[in-house]
Structures are given as structure tokens and as C-alpha cells.
Amino acid sequence: MTAYPSPNFGDRRGGVLPSLIVIHYTAMASCAEARARLCAPEFEVSAHWLISETGVAEPLVDERFRAWHAGAGEWAGVTDVNSHSIGIELANTGSQPFSEPQMAALERVLAAAMARWAIPPARVIGHSDMAPQRKGDPGARFDWRRLALQGLSVWPSVVGRDGPELQHSLDAIGYPQVAPAARLAAFRLRFRPMARGPETAADRACAAAVAGLMPH
């Protein structure tokens, strides 16, 4: 296997270093199809890592460079997410569970990248977090709590019965300034995937707990 086979990359604008990691699913039928797409010049998309269902982690773009995985969006005031991030694609159609070998490989890739670039757990996000009106990956089946238990993301351990104004907490977490309903949906997809309907006290309490985990 050739390391860094994707030609779809460029320099990180402004000479910035990676300070975010964005997790995706490929939404394609197979890992081979996803690899072909991510390495084809005509599609102008890529990621730094592609992890197969069987746990093979393939480096597609050197982390020193800007891969084209995030698209339009924002996180914690960062609008050029591609320049500031490392993109990890998980081979998954979007409707299947993530396998144990794949999750174990993701944990290894995450731990190494976070150590290389001094990226804290709060800066490991999903594509849906930074682009809530466009994207839904890695989706409701993804186990964020598992990552948090290993210090690879965040998850609230103590949640109260209510909290302050929801949008203020979502601001503190880093969600972009889009429609309130879209922000709530993105937050729920990650932290309360079974929740439905209008905003509740449980949403406010959970968001406040997550906001409390953010660096200040």
C-alpha cells in the first residue's frame, strides 16, 4: 500500500497547525469505493485517514497538509475547518453499527494524532457538529461515550435536572451560529440521540454539563 495516495490536498492556510479532529462516515457501500473516491482528483475530496470495517487504518493525506474533508461549516469560531483539522473517515454506510475492530483502530489513530499535535479531547468533533444543516455523520450509532472514557473526546459524567439558556451553552461548546432548531438537532445527535420534540430541561442540563467540559 502506498502511504498518502490521495492527490487531493494543499497547504494549511496561514501556516496553522491542526487543532481539531473531525470524524466522518463515508456513506458508501464499501471501503474500496470510499478509497477510490477519496483518491480521485476529479472529486476533489479527501481525508487524512480512512479506517475500514475490519480495522485497517490507511493514511491518505499527510497530516501536515490540508485535506478536503470538512466543507462549509464552523466550530468554535473557526471557519476554515480544513486548515485547522485532521479528517478521519470511517467506512460505514450510515445505517450500520461501527465494528469493534474499526472502533479500536480509530482509538489508536486518535490517540496518536492527539499526541502529535497536542489536540485536547474537547476538540474531537463530528462532521455534524461543525455542519449541522448539511451533515449527520458519524451519526446516532457512533459511540462518543466510549471515546470519552479513554480521554479521546468529551462526555458529561454528571448532568443536572435543568440548565441555563440552551443557546448560550451551545455557544460555549462551539456550535456554529445557525438556526436554533438545527443546533439542537446536532447537539442531540451527538449527546442525546434518542431525544425528540421541542427543547426540554434535559437538553439544557446536558448542554450545560458539556459546556462545563470545554477549555476556557
Q: Which residues are catalytic?
A: 89
Separation CA 24–CA 50 (nearest Å) = 10
Q: Are 173 and 207 in contact (CB under 8 A)?
A: yes
Closest alpha carbon to 20 in 60, 79, 72: 79
In DSSP terms, 90 is beta-bridged to 25, 51
Which among 41, 42, 37 is positioned nearest to 50, based on CA atoms? 37
DSSP H or E segment with residue 174: none
How far is the C-alpha of 110 from the C-alpha of 26, rounded, in Å?
A: 17
Strand, coil or helix: what is 90? Answer: strand
